[in-house]
Structure 1
Amino acid sequence: MQLYDAIVIGARCSGASTALLLAQRGHRVLVVDRSSFPSDVISTHFLWPHGMSYLNRWGLLDEVLAVTPAHTTVEVVNDGISLTGSVPTELLREYFRDLHGDDAGVVQSYASVRRRVLDEILVGAAAKAGAEVRTNFTVRELIVENGQVIGIRGRAVDGELVEERARIVVGADGRNSFVARTLALPKYDERPRCTFAYWSYWSGFDLGPAQLHRRGRLACAVAPTNFDQNMVLVWGPSEWSREFRGDVPGNYQKALDFVSPELGDVVRSRGTREERIYGTLDQSAFLRPLHGPGWVLVGDAESAKDQCTAIGITHAFRDAELVSAALDRWLRGDASIDEAMTAYGDRRRSQNAAAYHDYVCTLAEMRPYRHDELQLFVALRGNQQETDRFIATHADVAPVSEFFQASNLFLLNDAAKESSADHAVFEDFAETSRSYQQNLFA
């Protein structure tokens, strides 16, 4: 029986990327997945600029851009206050230097890549790098000896029962991770308040860069994606989901009309829906232990968050690069497994990571913006540098603590007082949104 250096369970964004990077470093890697490729999966499939930069660092960006539109600016509209900006290149360089020790491959563009496109590229790259890829493979059991995971048992596509062993097993199998369930790993810092989300794919219009709209307790987004289509997404607080799904097509359009009448009109009058409307209702956030004897988790398997900042794939790529670098040190004998995993854990559970996790979970509650928050957005309209830094913070490039530190907010709000006194946005949107919920689902 062959002893692999690593067996990776899950061959999508976090798993295929981890397998690719370990194989590129010369390690013997087996990556398995119960799916076949190409195939879609529930996902917002948005890549922020650091996500695109990871693809560039791995030599895959050109292949993605050959079939996927990309832009550098994004429009964010909060209760009628429009901000347009991009993630600054220098902040991206700082992000990579701080997290990975170098800033090679940084690009400023973002893209919305269908998973049937992206995952196939990643799986193909992993195989090309030397990883053994087995699809339509169902893992049935983790092999554990003396408290340590040493391999897997599963069923191959032909029905054969297979046993494989490795020095480390990587759980990259999503928020409902088989590895985590089998090991009875606890969840902690659970945040049950989250969003519901519905989306579909529309042809017939081209609105250019992505738009993110929020009004009251509802939001919507549109982003160009593959196949000359646009992903159009609506979301709101999870406690509204039961009423919303009573008439998904009707409420989907009504939500667009409420949050962004202009976008609602474009979808209604010019758009052709090319697929069914997809949805997800439970996006509660949680953390799990990162590693233990013979195993390590990456991506949503260890840290699941709401979709409201569309950060999931970018974080999966981040984890893949961090964990592969840590495992490489151990596999080459440059560090003990405890040293390698401690280094991985320190970067994954840093103060910045905790602050951003809290930021996403707070946004996911979809509470109406307060007066001072709206005032801040008004202030940002006249300050492009701070607008770009706000977008970088939202995308987890710049630390949350730096943008939202008291001294920075005082300066911005002082500037806002002169420009926002008569701004129409300071009507009672909380009441408007509550009234909308009562009428929408009737």
Structure 2
Amino acid sequence: MERTTTDYDVIIVGARVAGSSLAYECSKAGLSVLLLDKGSFPSDILSTHNFFNNSLAMLREMGVLDRLLGTGTPTYRRAHIQFDESIIDGEYPEATGEKDCLCIRRTHLDHILFQHACEQEGVTGIEGFRVTDVIMEGDAVAGVVGCFRDGRTERFTARLVVGADGRHSAIRSLVGSEQKMCVPTDYASYVAYVADYRQEGERCVEFYKIGENLAIIFPTSDDLFVVGVMFPLDNHQWRNRFTIDPETALRSFVDIHFATTRSSFPQRLQQSRVALPIRGLLGYDNDWHQGMGKGWALLGDALSFKDPAVGQGLHDAIYGSRVLTRILSATPHWESGWEEMAGSYEQEMESKMMARFQMACQFTKNVPTTEEQSAVNRLIGSSGEATAAFLGLYNYSKEPEDLEAVISRLMQGQI
């Protein structure tokens, strides 16, 4: 719903998952919102784009799950994981009443969420607007300056400006948010969308870590599977091969490095067809930034980017939008409450997300698997309870200490 004004309660820069979710939540709280994006929808973006079942509950509560499922994107419940010689195979535990997981392409997801946000009372959405600066009143952010695609410039003011504009956030840079943690990845990543890929048995996510190389496969939208491979960033031979001929490199890489998987993954990939251009991500930081200051806040990847292997980015974006809106709603006078709000926001986000952030930091480093860890992996794979506890880490139905307790009982012969 559009408003003919340049003054709002909240300006959100970035209208994909984080921004559109926040616009929806702010609308329900009675706030006026300007939702800006430099791009337009539908459009694609490099992303894991997976929701575990705990996130489907949030999408259902937002009223968009049926529209997302209406795209024909298949759901799944099972994971098949191989760490070297160890197999962990099972269903993700039920979370918040949901059993299904969903890996939906961003061409569908972002468009539907943006449309849904703009349908809400008090939300104005503008596509094709690039923010170039923030407006300051004293030491507080009070709005944004930017330009439309035709060159027209405009100023918009608000009580709060939120950067939901991704891991290279312009807002984060403009407000000078402090980087609190940073763990660079050791990996190069390449992502392909393939058609005619056939899985063995029940539809599932496949994950393989063989030595220093990783592969992950999700069923996704448009009758496709998304296939991601990762290898050490300093392996310039493979990086060059992917640069010269990405499809041939992908097929050769999988044939060579995943031949020892205890599944037919390499053969099934060879029988599939690459449907879209292969894209690469050469190095990234697992990072965490200051989340709020006077007149500004960060959300989603702008706040914290995590290794895609743990698949937590979309959950954290939606969850964070709820936390931020709740804190804003509980504080009637924002102008005198920035420090208290910032403390509450950062504390709650860290309390919720830090364990998975640390998981991502472990995945992102190319550290050989120890004999002890291999033994633990075999132990997890041998027990249905331990497998459920391990998979439950991904959908928040279990915490690391729950898995540790199960492993301890297994080692003591109590299970």
Per the TM superposition, whether the score is higher than 0.5 is yes
Alignment of 1:399 onto 2:399: yes
> Residue 332 of structure 1: CA displacement?
8.5
Query: 1 CA distance for matches of 2:143 and 2:102?
Result: 37
3-state SS, counterpart of residue 77 of structure 1:
strand
Question: Which residue of 191, 200, 205 maps to 1:199?
Answer: 191
Q: Which residue in 1 is equivalent to 2:215?
A: 220
Q: CA deviation at 1:144?
A: 0.7
* C-alpha distance in structure 2 between counterparts of 1:347 and 1:188, whole Å: 16
Residue of structure 1 in register with 2:54 after alignment: 50
The 8 Å contact of residues 180 and 287 in structure 2, kept in 1 or not, is answered as yes
Note the alpha carbon deviations across 1:10-58, whole angstroms, 9 max, x for none.
0011111101111122211001010000000111111111222211111
**DSSP-derived class of the 1:173 partner:** coil
Q: Does 1:209 align with 2:211?
A: no
For residues 16-415 of structure 1, the aligned pairs below 5 Å read 16-67=20-71, 68-89=73-94, 92-93=95-96, 106-130=97-121, 131-207=123-199, 208-240=203-235, 242-248=236-242, 249=246, 250-257=248-255, 258-259=257-258, 260=261, 262-268=264-270, 270-330=271-331, 336-350=337-351, 353-404=353-404, 407-414=405-412
Partners of 1:356 and 1:312 in 2: CA distance: 10
CA contact (8 A) 1:174 1:299 kept: yes
Which piece of structure 1 moves more, 392-401 or 196-205? 392-401
Structure with the higher fraction of residues in helix conformation = 1
Q: Within 2, Cα distance between the matches of 1:401 and 1:173?
A: 34
Given that 1:201 and 1:229 are in contact with CA atoms closer than 8 Å, whether structure 2 keeps it comes out as: yes
> 1:395 offset after TM fit, Å?
4.5
Q: What per-residue deviation string (whole Å, max 9, x for no partner) do you get for residues 243-278 of structure 1?
A: 32211134322332222472111111x211111111
| C-alpha displacement of 1:161 | 0.9
Deviation at 1:109, TM superposition (A): 1.2
Change (3 A) 1:14 1:194: farther
Cα displacement string for residues 151-176 of structure 1 (whole angstroms, at most 9, x for unaligned residues): 00111243221111011111101111
AA in 2 matched with 1:386: A
Q: Deviations over 1:209-249 (max 9, x none)?
A: 11111111111111111111111111123333x33221113
Separation of aligned partners in 1, 2:278 and 2:332:
45
1:52-83 superposed Cα distances (whole Å, 9 cap, x missing partner): 22111111111111221001111112113222
1:341, 1:49 → 2: CA distance? 29
Partner Cα distance (1:52, 1:413) in 2: 35
Q: Secondary structure of 1:296's partner?
A: strand
Deviations 1:297-351 (A, max 9, x none): 1111111111121211111111112112222223588x9444443322221122x
The verdict on how the C-alpha distance between 1:20 and 1:372 changes in structure 2, with shifts beyond 3 A counting, is: same
- For the aligned residues, what is the CA RMSD? 2.2
In 1, distance between residues paired with 2:76 and 2:156?
Answer: 43
In 1, distance between residues paired with 2:81 and 2:131?
A: 42
Long gaps (5+) in structure 2 = none
For 1:205 and 1:252, how far apart are their aligned partners in 2?
15
User: How has the CA–CA distance of structure 1 residues 301 and 355 changed in structure 2, closer, same or farther, with 3 Å as cutoff?
Assistant: same
In structure 2, the CA distance between the partners of 1:173 and 1:75, relative to structure 1 (3 Å rule), is same
Offset at residue 138 of structure 1 (A): 0.6
Q: Within 2, Cα distance between the matches of 1:158 and 1:366?
A: 46
Give the Cα separation in 2 of the matches to 1:84 and 1:414. Answer: 23
Check whether the contact 1:195–1:366 (CA below 8 A) recurs between aligned residues: yes
Residue 42 of structure 1: SS of its match in structure 2?
Answer: coil
Residue 180 of structure 1 aligns to a residue whose secondary structure is helix
Q: Is the contact made by 2:81 and 2:89 (CA closer than 8 Å) also made in structure 1?
A: yes
Q: Which residue of 2 aligns with 1:424?
A: none
Answer yes or no: is the 8 Å Cα contact 1:9–1:15 preserved in 2: yes
Number of residue-to-residue matches in the alignment: 397
Q: Percent identity?
A: 24
Amino acid at match of 2:134: L
Task: Report which of the two has the higher share of strand.
Answer: 2
In structure 2, what residue type is equivalent to 1:255? F
Question: Shift in Å at residue 190 of structure 1?
Answer: 1.1
Q: Is the 8 A contact 1:187 1:286 kept in 2?
A: yes
Q: Structure 1, residues 112-139: CA drift from partner, whole Å, max 9, x if none?
A: 1111110001100100113100000010
Per-residue deviation at 1:145? Answer: 1.2
* Alignment-mate amino acid for residue 74 of structure 2: P
Consecutive unaligned residues of structure 1, counting only runs of 5 or more, are 94-105, 419-442
